[in-house]
Structure 1
C-alpha cells in the first residue's frame, strides 16, 4: 500500500465510517456528516499505540494494514505516551460526532477547543466554521507542533496554541462555543468569561458530558447528557496526566464494605463517583468471568482503599476515600440508580455545584 494508495482508499473508507455513524444515530446533521466524509483522519493519526504499548504505524509495512483499518473504524486510538503512560488520543469518532452535534453550531460562530490532540477535531471544526473562527489549545509543544503540521497538510489553518487550556485564549474571545476534549474536575472560570451571552460549553465533567450555558459574566448552568464519556484529564503542565505510583496497601483487619464489588462496574454509579471523588485511580481483581471481585483505589493525596474479595475494606491516608464512595452509593440507591442526565450543574461566584433532580436535593461541590 503506497502513500497514493492510502489517500485513494481513504476516500471510500471515510464514507463507510460516516455511513456507519449515521446508521448508529451518532451522525444525523448533514453538515457534520460532510465534514467527516471530507477530513482525512488518517493524516492526523499516522500511528497509534495498542494496549501493549506497541506502535502501529502507516510507515511500518508490517502494521500498515492494521493501522489503516483502525483509523477508519469507530475506535479511540492512543496517540501520545509520556514515560509509558497514555497522555493523548484520537477520540472515538461516534463520540466526537455526538459532541459536535450537541454544540448546535451555526454558520458564523466562533469556537474554542480545549485539548488539541492530533488536530483532527480542530480540522472538523475548521471545515464546518472556517479556519479564522477556530482556536485549539494544548499544553505540550510535542502535541501542538505535529497537530499544526497535520492541519496544514490538509489545507487547514485554525489557530493552534500551546498553553494551559484552563485559561482559554482570551485574545480571540468571545466564543459562541467552547468544547473540551479532556476530562475536567470543574469548569475553569476563565472559560465562562470568554463565552458570548448565548454561548455554551460542552465538556467531560467527571465521566459524563455536561452542556453548560452562560447565564452571566461569572455564572452558568447546565445538565449532563445521557451515557458516559471517558477522556484523559486536562493537563496544566507537560508532565500532568501521568498516573501516580500506588501507595503501599493498608494492612490489618478490614471492616465490612457497604459498597459491593458489583457496584464498581456500574457506569451510572461510577459517574457519581467521578463527581464525588474526582481523579481517582483504580485497579481491579477479576474472576474467570471477568467480574470484579476486589479493587484498589487511591487519590492524588495518598488516600487509598482496598476492597478484598471477602467483602471487607481497609483504608489508609489522610481521607476515608472508600467511606465517601459508600455514602454516595447509598444516595444513588435511594434515588433509584439515576443516570447522568438526572444531574445538573450550577456555577456562580460562590462556587460550582452538581445536584441531583432539584437544587434542594443531594449536591456535591466541585473543586
Structure 2
C-alpha cells in the first residue's frame, strides 16, 4: 500500500519529467519558471477531472486513480468544473501555461492580476515565482474560488483569491504591472486598462490567440498578437453561464458548391481569423481516419447554421447565410497570404475596439463585448 511519502516522491519525478518535456518542446526556457513547474504540485490542485464522456476521474476512486495520476502530469488540459452539463472551468494545458507565464516578462516584484483562478494552480506558479503579496486571482463563482483558496493554502501559498466578475478587475490592489487573462475575451474590458501601471500590459486570449496589449492612455491601449493558437473557455460573468449550445435543426434544402473546403476549417491560422471576424461559432465535424475534416456543421447562438457535406456542397438556414460569411473571410485570408496571428494587432479605445491586419489602418474587424 502506497503512502503519502511514496506519492510525494512519485509526483516529484512526474513533475520533473513534465517540465523536461516542456523544455524540450521549447515552451519553457526560463529557469525560474522551470523551477516553479518542478516545485508546485499540480496533482494537489487537480484532485479530479472529467473525461470527454463526463465521467469523473479522481484520486479517491481506485478504478480511476492511475488514470488520474498520469493525466495530471501530462501536457493536456483537464476539465475540472461543469455547469448544466457544459465544461465551465479547467486546468489549462501546461504548455500554454508556460508560454503565457514566460510571455508576461516578469521580474522580481512584478505585480500580477490573474483573471480565471480555476483550480488555483496557475496562481500557485505565479506566487512561487513572485511571492503571495504580488498576486491577485479572481473568478466568478465561489464554487471555484473556495476550493482554489483551500488548495493554495494547503500547499503554502496565500495570494489574494477574489470572487467576482473578472471584467471589472480588482481595483483595490491596482495598479498592476501585468494582467493575465486565462479565459477567452470577446473584447478588452476598459476597467482592466485603467488598472494597469503606466508601463504595464495585458496578456489575454482574444479569439483563438494571445495578445500582448500595452496601456497607451487612461482608457486606451494597443498591442499585437503572438504566434500560435490559444484555446480557452470564455470569460464567465455570472452563475447562469455555461448552458450548452444546442444545434439548430439541419436544413433539408438542396446544397450548393462550397468555395471553402473542409480541410480549411482545420487550419489554425484561418480559425483565428474566424474567431475574431465571426465569434461564437460552435462546430461539429466529420473526420476521416487521419482525423481530417471531411464535413462539418457550424452554428451561432442566433440560430444560423450551415452544413457542409463530404461531396463539397453546403446548405444554410437561419437569419444569416453563415457559410457565405465564412467563405468571404476565407477569400480575405487567402488574399492576405494566409496570415498567422502574429500579423494582427488590436487597438482599444473608449468607444470602439478593432483587430487589424499588418497595420492599425489596415483591414480590420470591430470587436463587440
Q: TM-score with structure 1 length normalisation?
A: 0.97
Which segment drifts farther, 55-64 or 305-314?
305-314
Residues 1:155 and 2:156 aligned together: yes
Which segment drifts farther, 36-45 or 280-289?
280-289
CA contact 2:303–2:318 (8 Å) conserved in 1: yes
Distance 2:181 2:248 in 1: 31
The corresponding residue for 1:201 is 202
Structure-to-structure mapping, 1:1-367, within 5 angstroms: 1-367=2-368
The verdict on how the C-alpha distance between 1:196 and 1:333 changes in structure 2, with shifts beyond 3 A counting, is same
Cα deviation for residue 141 of structure 1 reads: 1.1
The verdict on how the C-alpha distance between 1:365 and 1:304 changes in structure 2, with shifts beyond 3 A counting, is same
The count of aligned residue pairs is 367
CA contact 1:202–1:211 (8 Å) conserved in 2: yes
Cα deviation for residue 287 of structure 1 reads: 3.1
CA displacement 1:222-246 (0-9 Å, x = unmatched): 1111111111111111231332111
Structure 2, unaligned stretches of length 5 or more?
A: none
Distance 2:315 2:325 in 1: 13
Distance 2:150 2:244 in 1: 29
Distance 2:326 2:132 in 1: 45
CA contact 2:32–2:129 (8 Å) conserved in 1: yes
Distance 1:324 1:159 in 2: 44
Which segment drifts farther, 76-85 or 177-186?
76-85
CA contact 1:232–1:241 (8 Å) conserved in 2: no
Structure 1, unaligned stretches of length 5 or more?
A: none
Distance 1:20 1:291 in 2: 27
Which segment drifts farther, 289-298 or 169-178?
289-298
Q: Secondary structure at the match of 2:216?
A: strand
Distance 2:207 2:247 in 1: 21
Q: Secondary structure at the match of 1:313?
A: strand
CA contact 2:285–2:295 (8 Å) conserved in 1: yes
Poorly superposed stretches of 4+, deviation over 6 Å: none
Q: Secondary structure at the match of 2:49?
A: strand
RMSD over aligned Cα atoms? 1.4
CA contact 2:346–2:360 (8 Å) conserved in 1: no
